[in-house]
């Protein structure tokens, strides 16, 4: 049974006030056999992530690699020289990949 967690909580006095007949009638009302077709129509209009992005423009400004930066030969990330971990066979490796 679905629970509405946003509904205000009822006291135990209020819970005891509901008669069995009233609860049965609420249960019968909540279990209608009709299907909500509107939800299906609305779901067809949603666009999933990873959809066509050909019309999108790049909004991030890309800077060239600076003089105090290097590209790690292992993870291929551009890092600052202070993160240089090792140099093997002329290839620069960051401290995280060492």
Structure tokens given for 51: 């959809």
Per-domain boundaries in the chain: 68-98
Write down the residue that tokens 């299907």 correspond to.
Answer: 35
Is this structure's pTM higher than 0.75?
no
Considering Cα of 29, then 33, then 34, then 36, what sign does the dihedral take?
positive
Per-residue pLDDT of the chain (98 residues; tens, 9 = 90+): 677 778 777 665 555 556 777 777 777 666 655 555 566 666 666 777 766 766 777 788 888 999 999 999 999 999 999 999 999 999 999 999 99
Q: How far apart are CA 61 and CA 36, in angstroms?
A: 47
Q: Considering Cα of 30, then 35, then 41, then 44, what sign does the dihedral take?
A: positive
Which among 75, 64, 80 is positioned nearest to 91, based on CA atoms?
75
């Amino acid at each position: 049974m679905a629970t509405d967690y946003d509904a205000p909580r009822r006291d135990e006095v209020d819970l005891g006030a509901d008669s069995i007949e009233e609860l049965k009638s609420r249960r019968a009302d909540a279990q209608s056999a009709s299907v909500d077709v509107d939800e299906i129509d609305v779901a067809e209009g949603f666009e999933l992530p990873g959809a066509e992005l050909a019309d999108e423009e790049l909004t991030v400004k890309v800077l060239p690699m600076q003089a105090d930066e290097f590209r790690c030969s292992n993870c291929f990330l551009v890092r600052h020289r202070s993160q240089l971990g090792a140099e093997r066979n002329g290839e620069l490796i960051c401290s995280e990949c060492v």
